[in-house]
Structure 1
């Protein structure tokens, strides 16, 4: 892993390096088990520099969470705008997530970190990104049910809960099996959805892992 260093590096680039190193540490050890001194040592910088950039340990965690949330929610939202519906949309969204998070699965783990600080700022940030992702999932389910001429709101609520949990479970499973490549995971997701939904038109999808 590259050190952040202290000289000859633009501030924005150095911040991104610190976020990557800190995010990995928070995702692996939890908030309480991560020290700023350890992050500074891994980054090859001074501890005061972290305070200068992020204000506090909580500020650094919040910045990591925001970076992870913008990355993951952004991928899901941009994929939704491509206009696919149903299991094809799910496979395509998973494909983009696997590609984007390859080598940086800490982002997903941080968004699902049960040890995050229970402060208003952290809680609000976490809820914000969870809601953005849930909104895309709910809209995808609504589009799928509309195609089937199903307009029952309780059906939509139940299927959204199932859909979001399946999506989350597949990505979480991947983070726990680091030997699985993005391409292998996209292929696995397609196989599993085919079992449930029948043949999918995968050749029509702009998969990044193809």
Structure 2
């Protein structure tokens, strides 16, 4: 009966089922401890079928990284609505980031913890994703900086470091938020907005950046 089900299920669907099982296993057990037997059992397929579809443990892990990286960057981009003020776009992007990482903690573990600590080519895959997000955030901040400086030609290099720091802070906050279920995506995004947008000086003086009422 199991063999019949395998034949009838479209390859693309079966492959995603395997990737789902792999992300869960890698995210919770780590790359080294995860076994192909465990992944196959969780996916409801034979181990030879996993090898047939995805070649090796290394290729399977790379496929997981690529899928989850694409999903995260797509979520952040989809969360930002062009035409809004720069702070609102940044707020929406951060909220989308923290919502995604909280909904998919195993995927975030694969991207932020596992892939970075097991060498090439895994680290390069995550670095490419991170560079895309940093470039996206740089453009958001650059719009606000050019308006504030009244300089439409202000170079991106002036804010590139800020974007890099902001993304790094978001990554750390995602770990913090996932470790404590009482921290919501909205709270994590508001925390970072108050540090990054309002600034520590204003924050200590009691002047906070306030999330828009319409955002949930």
Q: TM-score range by the shorter chain?
A: 0.7 to 0.9
Where do 5+ consecutive residues of structure 1 fail to align? Answer: none
Query: How many correspondences in the alignment?
Result: 198
Q: Provide the rounded CA distance (Å) in 1 between the counterparts of 2:169 and 2:84.
A: 18
- Give the stretch that moved more between structures: 35-44 or 143-152: 143-152
Q: CA deviation at 1:185?
A: 2.4
Summarize deviations over 1:32-66 as a string: whole Å, max 9, x none.
Answer: 11110111112221001111111111110011001
Please tell me whether Structure 1 or Structure 2 has the larger radius of gyration of its CA atoms. Answer: 2
What is the CA–CA distance in structure 2 between the aligned matches of 1:153 and 1:11, rounded to whole Å? 44
Query: CA–CA distance in 2 between the matches of 1:188 and 1:123?
Result: 26
1:69 aligns with 2:69: yes
Higher helix share: 2
Tell me how far apart the structure 2 counterparts of residues 199 and 119 of structure 1 sit (CA, whole Å). 40
Measure the CA separation in 1 of the matches of 2:114 and 2:43: 25
Aligned match of 2:179 in 150, 166, 176?
176
Match of 1:160 in 2: 163
Asked if the contact 1:91–1:186 (Cα under 8 Å) also holds between the matched residues in 2, the reply is no
Q: CA deviation at 1:127?
A: 2.4
Query: Cα gap change, 1:153/1:129 in structure 2, threshold over 3 Å: closer, same or farther?
Result: closer
Is the 1:22–1:64 contact (alpha carbons within 8 Å) kept by the matching residues of 2?
yes
Distance 1:102 1:87, change over 3 A: same
Query: Compared with structure 1, are the counterparts of its residues 200 and 104 closer, same or farther at alpha carbon in structure 2 (3 Å cutoff)?
Result: same
Q: Residue 134 of structure 2 contacts residue 164 of structure 2 at CA under 8 Å; is this kept in 1?
A: no
Structure 1, 60-69 or 191-200: larger mean CA deviation = 191-200
Deviation, 1:85, is: 4.5
- Residue 203, structure 1, aligned to residue 213, structure 2: yes
Q: Which has the higher contact order (CA 8 A, sep 6+)?
A: 1
The 3 A distance-change label for structure 1 pair 162 and 118 is closer
Deviation, structure 1 residue 130: 1.5
63-72 vs 24-33, which deviates more?
24-33
Contact persistence 1:88–1:200 (CA under 8 A):
no
- Provide Cα deviations, 1:14-36, integer angstroms capped at 9, x if missing partner: 21121111012112222111110
Give the CA deviation at 1:73. 1.0
Aligned counterpart, 2:26:
26
User: Normalized against structure 1, the TM-score is what?
Assistant: 0.79
